[in-house]
Amino acid sequence: MDRDSVAMGDDVLPHAETIEMPPETSLADVVAHLRERHYLATIAGGRATWILVADRPLAVVAQQWNEPRFLVDASRPISSFGVEGRGVSLMFRYWKQHDPDAVLEELAAGRKPSR
C-alpha cells in the first residue's frame, strides 16, 4: 500500500508499506485496520479527502467521516482486488479538502473528480 503526501514535511519518510493479511479478509476490514493504525495523515482543520484505488476506485475516506464510503462491495475478500500471484496494491490518493460527498458522487457516476 502507499499514499500520497499531504505536505512537504510529510515527504520525510516513505509511505509505502507491505502488510500481510489473510486473502479472505474483507476490503472493509483492511480499510478499518489501516484507519485504526492512523495510516492516513490528518489535516489541521479536520477536512481531508482520500480516494482508495486498486484496480479501480474502491472507496472515499474522509477525515470528517466516521466510516469510509465504498464504491464496491466492501465485504468482498481483499484478494479479489489484486492480480493473481502478485497480491493487492492499494493506493490512497489525497484529494485535498474537496467535499468528499461530491468526490464520491463523481466517482460513482464513473467520472474522475476534479482537483
CA distance 111 to 103: 9
pTM for the structure as a whole: 0.87
Does the pLDDT of residue 12 top 60, yes or no? no
CA distance 76 to 114: 28
Task: Give the residue with greater pLDDT, 84 vs 8.
Answer: 84
Instruction: Decide if 11 contacts 5 (C-beta within 8 A).
Output: yes
Residue 9, pLDDT score: 57
pLDDT tens for residues 68-93?
A: 999 999 999 999 997 666 788 999 99
